[in-house]
Structure 1
Amino acid sequence: MPRETKLILCPLNLRHIKVEYNAYDEAVEMAQRRGAKLIVATVAPEIERNLNIYDSDKYWGDELRKFVAAHPAEGVDVEYVVRKGATHRQIVKLADERNVDVIVMESANPKVSDYLLGTTASHVVTHAECSVYVVRG
């Protein structure tokens, strides 16, 4: 009997989102098929390099909402989460805290084609307690 999927986490790197968002499309489709809730998350840097960003939680939260508005998740309950810190650690921590059933994420920075699996995805696959579905670009 297949496991029930109630909560899906899809971490997005908004710096590369114009180039690659296959994992988001997969996560939305999976949530639609399984009737699951979708957490769309991004991890902001602890210290912003762009001095025009005064409130990174608000800025990146707004960017997440703009992205989802441009790529609607029809019929899916979507929650937005912004975290700060090391991306690979924050994804695993969020998945553990929220008792996520599956993480759906990109394999690597789309500009890094030499790697089989990006360092963030590799860490998440190794340390997450839940299933991890890695989408290759």
Structure 2
Amino acid sequence: MPRKTKLILCPLNLRHAKIEYNAYSEAVDMARRRGAKLIIATVAPEIERNLNIYNSDIYWGEQLQEFLKAHPADDVEVETVVRKGAVHRQIVKLADDRNVDLIVMEAANPKVQDYLLGTTASHVVTHAECSVYVVRS
């Protein structure tokens, strides 16, 4: 009997979301078809390089909300999450903490020409307990 997908995690790099959001589109479609809840997450750096960002949780949370307004996930229950730290570790930790059934993520930074998976995607694929769907840009 196939496993039921109830919770999908889609990590977004908001610095590149204006350029490329194929994984987000795939995750929304999958959540809609499967009747699953969607967690849209972003990982902020421990220390912001931009000195104008005083509270990264608030800043990146607002950026997530702006992204969702521009790209609504109609008919899908969506939750947003902001984490801090190393992106690859935080994605796996969030998936484990929330018992995610599926992670849908971009393969690599859209500016990087790479013939293998990006380091973040390869770490997540290797260490996540759930299935991982990697979207090539």
Normalised by the size of structure 1, how large is the TM-score? Answer: 0.98
1:23 CA displacement:
0.1
The aligned amino acid for 2:75 is G
Alignment of 1:59-74 (within 5 A): 59-74=59-74
Matches of 2:114 and 2:27, distance apart in 1:
25
Gaps of 5+ in 1: none
The residue type paired with residue 81 of structure 1 is V
1:117 aligns with 2:117: yes
Aligned to 1:130: 130
Corresponding residue for residue 8 of structure 1: 8
- In structure 2, the partner of 1:21 is 21
The C-alpha deviation readout for 1:97-118, integer Å capped at 9, x for no partner, is 0000000000000111123210
Identity of aligned residues (%): 82
Could you tell me how far apart the structure 1 residues matched to 2:4 and 2:53 are? 40
The residue type paired with residue 2 of structure 1 is: P
Q: CA deviation at 1:131?
A: 0.1
Structure 1 moving runs of 4+ over 3 Å: none
Q: Is the 8 A contact 1:43 1:86 kept in 2?
A: yes
8 A Cα contact 1:103 1:133, kept in partner: yes
Q: Which amino acid aligns with 1:101?
A: D
Counterpart in the other structure of 1:94: 94
User: 2: CA distance between counterparts of 1:108 and 1:114?
Assistant: 8
Specify the code of the residue in structure 1 equivalent to 2:40: V
TM-score scaled to structure 2, two decimals?
A: 0.98
SS of residue paired to 1:133:
strand
Alignment partners' CA distance in 1, 2:5 and 2:66: 26
Indicate the residue corresponding to 1:77 in structure 2. Answer: 77
Please provide the CA RMSD for this pair.
0.6
Tell me how far 1:18 sits from its aligned partner.
Answer: 1.0
Q: Is the 8 A contact 1:108 1:115 kept in 2?
A: no
Rounded Cα–Cα distance in structure 2 between residues aligned with 1:115 and 1:52: 36
What CA deviation, in whole Å up to 9, does each residue of 1:58-111 have, x standing for no partner?
Answer: 000000011011101001110000000000000000000000000000000011
